[in-house]
Amino acid sequence: MESVMTNSGIVTKVRAMRKNLLKEEDFVRLSEQRLSLQKAEFLSTFKPYAELFQNVSAESLHRSGVERRLMLSLLQDFDRLYQFAGPQQRSFMKLYFGHYEVRMLNLCLQAALGGRPTIDGLRPYGEYLKKYGRIDILQLAESRSMAEYIENLSGTPYYSILKRLYESGHARMVDYETAIEMRYFTSMWRRKDKELSKTSAAIVAKTFGSRIDTMNMNWIYRSKKYFDMTPEELYALLIPIRYKLTVEDIRRMVEAPGLPELLEVERACYYGRKGRPYVEKTRSLTKASEAMLSHIYRQAAKDHPYSIAPVNTYFFLKEQEIRRIVNIIESTHYQDGGQKPAEEVLS
């Protein structure tokens, strides 16, 4: 067990911050607010979101606007916890910050492909990017074309793969986004054993490994249900890391001829067996995956209370909370006859 004395400060801080996470009844009340402005006003009654959602306009509460505000909340939490972190936790947090950089890389990518620099939207993150980042995101945000975007990534781990995609002449936005995410997860997976203690690396393997496995499973499911992809196209989009999934599991999922056959394979794999109670309760693959991952992260924090686990778990729970908030606020736009986005509900 890592030092109780070394890590007691950050453990106490994490416990205090977890008390500020929204409870289930808070999400219910948020959903009951009829207008986006009413939802924003309700969120402003919670300490983490008080300043972010005061005096906002309805026009600023579209999905990207809400996500940008909530991203600032994540960075503020990261900064607060870093001040209490010991050497091992700081090593982990520096590694984890790449997770947030990937989000901003994708925001800049979308803007560059549209020929619209997004520097103004990212300025509020400037102090955190400068303090913890490895990439000059603000320079990247000034890119006016894909060629300029790639050149602004020169010297980073993302440059060579994105340059090859660009020079192929056939890359789409999803190809660039997939390449960025693959490079981040692959890099983190390799670096964890070199930069973290044995205990910390094992915690990352269990939590991020499970996360990657379920991301790949959900992507295979969505691809089978909504897109007409060949196995070769689907293999190219999967993160090349496996934790509890075997090579044979992946092969059988990707090459399943249809949804019934895919679901049969998924039910037989490790996550199908472990996640069966969550699927039966939620009737949704997405919600079942989130519930199962939440259990894995919470259990890691219980098993290793004086390690990186409480910090890792807090970040995951906060990101889950933010996804729910974004989806609830966005749902307002689909009221009065609008159509809600499709959800993977099992019949």
Task: Single out the residue in 171, 195, 219 at which a domain terminates.
Answer: 195
Q: Does residue 276 form part of some domain?
A: yes
pLDDT at position 268: 94
pLDDT at position 129: 92
How far apart CA 270 and CA 249 sit, in angstroms, is: 9
Q: Does residue 240 form part of some domain?
A: yes
Task: Single out the residue in 139, 162, 195 at which a domain terminates.
Answer: 195
C-alpha Rg value of the chain to the nearest Å: 21
pLDDT at position 119: 79
Q: Does residue 343 form part of some domain?
A: no
Q: Does residue 344 form part of some domain?
A: no
pLDDT at position 305: 92
Indicate whether 177 and 205 sit together in one domain. no
CATH number at residue 281: 1.20.1690
Q: Does residue 76 form part of some domain?
A: no
Q: Does residue 139 form part of some domain?
A: yes
Indicate whether 201 and 304 sit together in one domain. yes
pLDDT at position 97: 95
How far apart CA 84 and CA 340 sit, in angstroms, is: 42
Q: pLDDT band at residue 102, thresholds of 50, 70 and 90?
A: very high
Whether residue 341 has pLDDT greater than 70: no
Indicate whether 130 and 181 sit together in one domain. yes
CB 103 within 8 A of CB 72: no
Q: What is the mean pLDDT of residues 173-192?
A: 90
Whether residue 208 has pLDDT greater than 60: yes
Q: Does residue 45 form part of some domain?
A: no
SS3 204: helix
Indicate whether 270 and 244 sit together in one domain. yes
pLDDT at position 170: 83
Residue with tokens 């004086």: 306
Indicate whether 140 and 212 sit together in one domain. no
How many structural domains does the chain have? 2
Q: pLDDT band at residue 94, thresholds of 50, 70 and 90?
A: very high
Indicate whether 202 and 285 sit together in one domain. yes
pLDDT at position 92: 94
Q: pLDDT band at residue 308, thresholds of 50, 70 and 90?
A: very high
pLDDT at position 321: 95
Indicate whether 216 and 177 sit together in one domain. no
pLDDT in tens, 46-82: 999 999 988 888 887 887 788 888 999 999 999 999 9
Say how many Å lie between the first and final Cα of the chain, rounded.
45
Task: Single out the residue in 175, 195, 215 at which a domain terminates.
Answer: 195
The dihedral built from the CA positions of residue 38, 42, 47 and 48, taken in this order, carries a sign that is negative
CB 196 within 8 A of CB 92: yes
Domain membership of residue 104 as a residue range: 99-195
Question: Which residues contact residue 100 at a Cβ distance below 8 angstroms, ignoring those fewer than 6 apart?
Answer: 71, 74, 75, 78
Whether residue 334 has pLDDT greater than 70: no
pLDDT at position 6: 63
Q: Does residue 291 form part of some domain?
A: yes
Indicate whether 181 and 282 sit together in one domain. no
pLDDT at position 342: 44
Indicate whether 303 and 201 sit together in one domain. yes
Beta bridge partners of 345: 284
Indicate whether 245 and 281 sit together in one domain. yes
pLDDT at position 116: 83
Indicate whether 179 and 221 sit together in one domain. no
Q: What is the mean pLDDT of residues 113-137?
A: 88
